[in-house]
Amino acid sequence: MIKVLFFAQIREVIGCDKVEIEATTGLTADALRKQLVERGDKWQLTLGEANVLVAVNQTLSGWETELSDGDEVAFFPPVTGG
């Protein structure tokens, strides 16, 4: 299983902080995002945008990153500071 975490506004809009997804061969971070977007409107609203970042196993990653069983994936909006 892949543990998927949601942070900040993404978590607030979809109404949950984590889900578990079955690991499949060749699954990438982008394919996982698209799979989640298919769940409906609020998922599309938050994860369908280009301004979402992804981390795999607590490391900022690219959308092409391949996922494996036991990975932790986190989706979050860009962070700014001053």
Token output for 49? 């945008």
CATH number at residue 25: 3.10.20.30
Q: Would you say residue 63 has pLDDT above 80? A: yes
State which residues form the domain around 40: 2-76
pLDDT at residue 51, rounded to an integer: 83
What share of the chain in percent tops pLDDT 70? 96
Q: Answer left, alpha or beta for residue 42, where phi above 0 means left and psi between -120 and 50 means alpha.
A: alpha
Looking up tokens 């975490």, which residue turns up?
A: 5
Which amino acid does the sequence have at 6? F
Q: Is residue 81 part of a domain?
A: no
Q: How many domains does the chain have?
A: 1
Is the four-CA dihedral 76, 70, 21, 68 of positive or negative sign? positive
Q: What is the pLDDT of residues 13-34, one digit of tens each?
A: 999 999 999 999 999 999 999 9
What share of the chain in percent tops pLDDT 90? 89
Gap between the Cα atoms of 22 and 78, Å rounded: 27
What 3-state class would DSSP assign to 58? coil
pTM: 0.92
Mean pLDDT computed over every residue of the chain: 93
